[in-house]
A = this chain, B = another copy of it.
Amino acid sequence: MPASPKVTAVDPLPSAEAKWIEFQKISWTDQTGKPRIWESASRKTRGASGVDAVAISTVIRHPSRPPSTIIILQFRPPVDAICVEFPAGLVDAKETPADASLRELHEETGYKGKLSYISPTIVSDPGMSTANMQLATVEVNLKEGDTEPEQALDDGEFIERVVVPLEELYERLEKYSEEGKRVDARLWHWAAGLHFAKTML
């Protein structure tokens, strides 16, 4: 029975000790020609693709169930909470973002699907970091009687997957949030766009 993960200490991290991220002092000239400085954080793991990470919006179709997507729940130390996210992960050094999408979806959820679309490179928090990503759409077509596949997690990875009918996604995220879980902003925006189309247009 796994214990609850928890943060035990938060200390300042000197730049020289950081292994996964780095700070950058960016010198730039603005629209008036004035020299300025911007501070930014950056991942050290970006590989040949030039893209840090992928996330996967999955559509599961089944003969007798409503169209669904898969979200994952995992503890995220930076925000000291269980986070609710699309399946996602870093792109390996020599991997393409498309391959990373299918690999991560399989590892984190057990599902194998067909990549139907991958977004251009988009930026995760461009006022603060260089982090970028691509959003994939993967279609999974199930037959009657197909059983739920096994996840393929690494040792030490604890990720819960949840299949959610698309019609219920937004309300489900609201509920997780009320329970104290933290919804990833990108997943929230996707669900909010879907909800907006149903309720505001």
Contact = CB atoms under 8 A, between A and B. Distances in A.
Given A8-B27, A21-B39, 12 more contacts: A3-B29, A7-B27, A10-B27, A12-B15, A13-B15, A18-B23, A21-B41, A30-B75, A31-B158, A78-B128, A79-B123, A186-B186
A78 B24 CA distance: 8
Q: How many copies make up the complex?
A: 2
A67 B130 CA distance: 33
A31 B154 CA distance: 13
A122 B8 contact: no
A28 to B, nearest CB: 5
Interface in A1-18: 2-15, 17-18
29 contacts: A3-B29, A5-B31, A6-B29, A8-B29, A11-B24, A11-B27, A13-B23, A13-B24, A14-B23, A17-B25, A28-B75, A31-B158, A32-B156, A34-B156, A36-B77, A38-B78, A41-B129, A57-B196, A78-B126, A120-B174, A120-B177, A120-B178, A120-B183, A125-B185, A189-B193, A190-B193, A193-B194, A193-B195, A197-B198
A166 B24 CA distance: 37
B29 A12 contact: no
Size bracket, chain A contacts: 35 or more
A166 B57 CA distance: 21
Interface in A116-159: 119-133, 135, 137, 156, 158
